[in-house]
Structure formats: structure tokens, C-alpha cells
Amino acid sequence: MAEQHRVEVWGILNVTPDSFSDGGRYVDAGAAIAHARRMRAQGADVIDVGGESTRPGATPLDPAEEQARILPVVRELAREGIRVSVDTVHASTARAVVAAGAEIVNDVTAGEHDPDMLAAVAETGARVVLMHSRGIDVTLDTEYDDVARDVRRHLKGRVDAAVAAGIPLERIILDPGFGFSKGADDNWRLLAGLGEVQSLGAPVLVGTSRKRFLGELVPDGAPAAERDAATAATSLLAGQFGAAAVRVHDVASTVAALRALERTNQAVAERAGEPDWRIDLDAAASQPRLAAIELTGVRAFGHHGVLPEERRDGQAFVVDVRLEIDATDAIRDDDVAGTVHYGELAEQLAATVAGDPVDLIETLAERLADVCLSHPRVRHASVTVHKPSAPIGVPFGDVAVTVHRRARRR
């Protein structure tokens, strides 16, 4: 797990009549403002205001009506010095709320619903949350090969689009989109694979609050509010996995859980005779900057295999690696010494393939993973070894083995 840091807590403020969790409670501007003040007093760093429900089956809202609901709330909270994010998919609303004092635009479609959204955010100078989803209907298209990698791939494309629109990376926050276009098991796999999203180099916002997959942890028919304990637990795990912020309905329980974690970490450090290593930061600006390096198609000749002729004659092997690295120094100094030199790595991989023979490509893949993890910047390595000329008696396209290894904490 990642070293601990102070995790921001974003309080959810639904100024809607039809939210899945608290619809109608805060549709009145006065009630909404009062609830925002209450969440701020409980420890919320940001109030995330939404005027249009994203629950399954929700009726799309005209931007003018959305703005009528939320602008009075945004103006008052900003006037009081409360940091405000606004959950919207409409470019016109984004412009209006930033003009009213919001500092973050939170788009559940990552700028895909409204083609003007990214340009609008770029013009305002606000920060933007790019969330993974597959459209407004969150119940559709829930099939994944590897959910964490698929989410990363999608968000990488949206980051590229945002940067091309004029939004610098330091103004981008990424949200993996828990509960959006994902089955229940996908959400747990995504939480475990949060490092895939972190590797894109932007702070990560996690929003598991009261989501349907947490409903499996409480009795059938229990109201959504009874998922708050599970929300606090998953928010705590997200913080341990390196999330910069969590987005929740019940601020008090999550803030208490995160404070308990901070105090425990402080006690552990004191017992070890070490200085307090917790990091106080703004939206993870001081977190390690993670990056992914992919090196594919490295070809080398080796004498690996269980058959005598394979050991005697040898054959070609092809190696693909994907590394998650700490690129903090490389980004700061623009120096190859702060990263993994992929040319040197390719030579090391080829030399290992050409080295002492083994029977199984599983064993060879493990040796190659050891080579990758010998580089101190590497946190995680995935190594695939292809054996395109394997002695198989039927036509085939490829045979390959992949191993995943995580570095021990240094």
C-alpha cells in the first residue's frame, strides 16, 4: 500500500428532488446551504454540489433548470470561503458555476457528453474531475477484460483530450467511476487496482459512497444510509491505496475513520523511533508521481523448453513488460536518472532470455520480473513471455504466460 498522506474529504450535496440517496432533502437552497455548513463543520474540505441526478433512470435536466437549482447555493458557499466543486455534464453550467465561485468542475462523463465541456473548463481556469463511465445510463456496457486497466486506458484518452483542449495536467483529477457501468465485483477489483489509475500522474478521487455494490454488505432492504460504515471502510482503503480525496454523503464517519488511520500511523512511526512521515498536502500535489512504462515486442533467442530439441536448437521469444514507476524525480528534474532507462532494460531482458535455460516460460517470466524489480523506481511489474514457435501440433496464433509482481516496500 502507498505511504499515507492526508486524504481530502468531499461532502456530497444533492440539490435535486430525485437523488438515489437523499433526493428532495436539500432541494431548497436554504436547506442545502445549511447542510453544506454542517458538513464543513464535520471536516469536509470540499462541498461537491449537484443539481442533476445521475441515478439509473433519472430524467435528463435542462442546463437552465440545473443552474437555477445550484447557483444560489454555489454563490453563498463561495462567499463564505467554502471550497466548491460542481457535478455537471453541461458546459454552460460549468462556465456559470465557476463565475459564481466554484473552483472544480466534476464531470461524470469526462467531457464526452457535452463536446464543449473541456474547452469551457480550459477557459475558466478551474480544475476538472474526469470520471470513467460509459455514458449517462450507468447500467449499460458493464463488460471488462481487466477493469482497472480498461478504466486506466479510457481515462488516459480523456486526459489527453483535456490537455489538448488547454487544461494542464496539474488541474486534472481522475475518478475511476465506482458504480458507473460496472458490475458489483468490478468495483472491488477496481479498488484493488487503484494504482493503475494513479499511474496516469494525476490525483485520484474515489466515490464509493452508498453505491449499490456496498449494499451487498448490509441486510437486504436496508436504506442507503446504512451503507455509510462500508463507505467509510472503502474510503479508508482508498486512502491507503493512494487516493488524494474521497467523496461521501456522511462526512463525519469517513473523517473519523481517516483521522483514526492518521493517529495510528503516527503511533507506529513513534514506536519505530522515526519522525512523523505523514504528508500534509493539497489534493495530493506532493504525492509520488506515478507513471507507467510499457516496453513491448522485445525479441531474443533462448534455449528454454521441456523438449530436448528446444534445448538443443533454441527458438525466438518475445517479451512485453509494463512497469508502474515512481516518476517524481524524473518529472521534476527532466533527467533519465529519475526513471527506468528502457533501452538498458531491453538489453537486460534480452540477456536474461539468452541466459541459462529453464523448462517453463512461467519460470522465465519470473526471472524477467526480477530484472524489472531490480530497478529501484519500479513499484509493480507485469511481464508477458510469448513463445511464437512453440512445438504445438495444431495451428495456433500465440502462446504466452504473464506474471504480475509488486516490489517490496523499500
For residues 250-260, average pLDDT:
95
Q: What is residue 291's three-state secondary structure?
A: strand
115 and 222 share a domain? yes
Q: Which of 251, 266, 281 is the C-terminal boundary of a domain?
A: 266
Q: What is residue 322's three-state secondary structure?
A: strand
pLDDT band at 140 (very low <50, low <70, confident <90, very high): low
Q: Examine residue 315 and state whether it is found in any structural domain, yes or no.
A: yes
179 and 308 share a domain? no
Q: DSSP secondary-structure letter at 9?
A: E
Q: Examine residue 259 and state whether it is found in any structural domain, yes or no.
A: yes
Q: Which of 233, 266, 299 is the C-terminal boundary of a domain?
A: 266
* pLDDT tens-digit series, residues 90-139: 999 999 999 999 999 999 999 999 999 999 999 999 999 999 998 766 66
Q: What is residue 205's three-state secondary structure?
A: strand
Q: Examine residue 221 and state whether it is found in any structural domain, yes or no.
A: yes
Give the type of residue at 310.
E
State the Cα–Cα distance between residues 366 and 355, nearest whole angstrom: 14
The three three-digit cell numbers of residue 313, written as one number: 536448437
CA neighbor of 254 nearest in space, from 220, 216, 217, 208 = 208
For residues 79-92, average pLDDT:
96
255 and 349 share a domain? no
241 and 322 share a domain? no
pLDDT at 278: 47
247 and 313 share a domain? no
**Would the pLDDT of 297 be above 90?**
yes
The distance in angstroms from the start CA to the end CA of the chain is 12
pLDDT at 329: 84
168 and 229 share a domain? yes
pLDDT cut 70: percent of the chain above it: 89
Q: Examine residue 284 and state whether it is found in any structural domain, yes or no.
A: no
Q: Examine residue 271 and state whether it is found in any structural domain, yes or no.
A: no
* pLDDT tens-digit series, residues 87-99: 999 999 999 999 9
Q: Are 70 and 61 in contact (CB under 8 A)?
A: no
Among the listed residues 6, 69, 227, 247, the single catalytic one is 247
**Would the pLDDT of 141 be above 50?**
yes
Considering its fold, how many domains does the chain have in total? 2
Any catalytic annotation for residue 211? yes
Any catalytic annotation for residue 182? no
Q: What is residue 226's three-state secondary structure?
A: helix
**Would the pLDDT of 76 be above 90?**
yes
306 and 253 share a domain? no
Q: Which residues contact 57 (CB under 8 A, 6 or more apart)?
A: none
**Would the pLDDT of 57 be above 80?**
no
Q: Which residues contact 287 (CB under 8 A, 6 or more apart)?
A: 2, 5, 203, 242, 244, 279, 281
Question: Sign of the C-alpha dihedral, residues 401, 241, 53, 124?
Answer: negative
pLDDT band at 310 (very low <50, low <70, confident <90, very high): very high
Q: Are 330 and 336 in contact (CB under 8 A)?
A: yes
Of the listed ranges 25-29, 77-81, 154-158, 347-351, the least confidently predicted one is 25-29
pTM for this predicted structure: 0.66
177 and 326 share a domain? no
Q: Examine residue 51 and state whether it is found in any structural domain, yes or no.
A: yes
Q: Sheet holding 205-206: strands in order across? A: 172-175, 127-131, 104-107, 84-87, 46-50, 8-14, 245-248, 205-206
Q: DSSP secondary-structure letter at 320?
A: E
155 and 231 share a domain? yes
Q: Quote the domain boundaries for residue 177.
A: 8-266
Of the listed ranges 14-18, 191-195, 381-385, the least confidently predicted one is 14-18
pLDDT cut 90: percent of the chain above it: 71
For residues 210-229, average pLDDT:
92
Q: DSSP secondary-structure letter at 204?
A: B
Give the type of residue at 160.
D
Q: Examine residue 280 and state whether it is found in any structural domain, yes or no.
A: no
Among the listed residues 40, 95, 182, 211, the single catalytic one is 211
Output the CA torsion 339→344→350→351 (10° steps). -120
Q: Supply the CATH number for residue 53's domain.
A: 3.20.20.20
State the Cα–Cα distance between residues 40 and 31, nearest whole angstrom: 14
391 and 318 share a domain? yes
212 and 360 share a domain? no
64 and 185 share a domain? yes
pLDDT at 4: 53
Q: Supply the CATH number for residue 355's domain.
A: 3.30.1130.10
Q: Are 132 and 110 in contact (CB under 8 A)?
A: yes
Q: Examine residue 253 and state whether it is found in any structural domain, yes or no.
A: yes
pLDDT at 142: 77
For residues 274-282, average pLDDT:
46
pLDDT at 400: 93
- Tell me the angle at which helices 342-353 and 361-373 cross, rounded to the nearest 10 degrees: 150
